[in-house]
Amino acid sequence: MGKIVPFLFTSFALITVLFSFFLLFSPIPFKVTSKQGLTSVQNLHELQGNFPKTDHFEVENCDLFTGHWIPELKGSVYTNSSCTTIPDSKNCFKHGRQDVDFVNWRWKPENCELPMFDSMAFMEMVRGKKMAFIGDSVARNHIESLLCLLSQEEIPLEIYKDTEDRFKKWYFPNHDFTLMILWTKFLIVGEERMVNGTGTSAFDLQLDKVENSWADFLPELDYAIISDGHWFFRVMYLHQGNSLTGCVYCNEPNITKHDISFAVRMAFRTAFDHINACKNCNGLVTLVRTFAPAHFENGFWNTGGYCNRTSPLSKEELDLGVFEWEMRNIQVEEMERAREIGKKQGKKFGVVDVTRAMLMRPDGHPGSHWGNKWMKGYNDCVHWCMPGPVDHWSHFLMAVMRKELGIFS
Catalytic positions, please?
137, 380, 383
Q: Are 102 and 389 in contact (CB under 8 A)?
A: yes
CA distance 22 to 370: 11
Distance (Å, whole) CA 205 – CA 286: 23
Q: Give the C-alpha separation, 42 to 409, whole Å.
A: 23
Is there a contact between 278 and 284 (Cβ–Cβ < 8 Å)?
yes
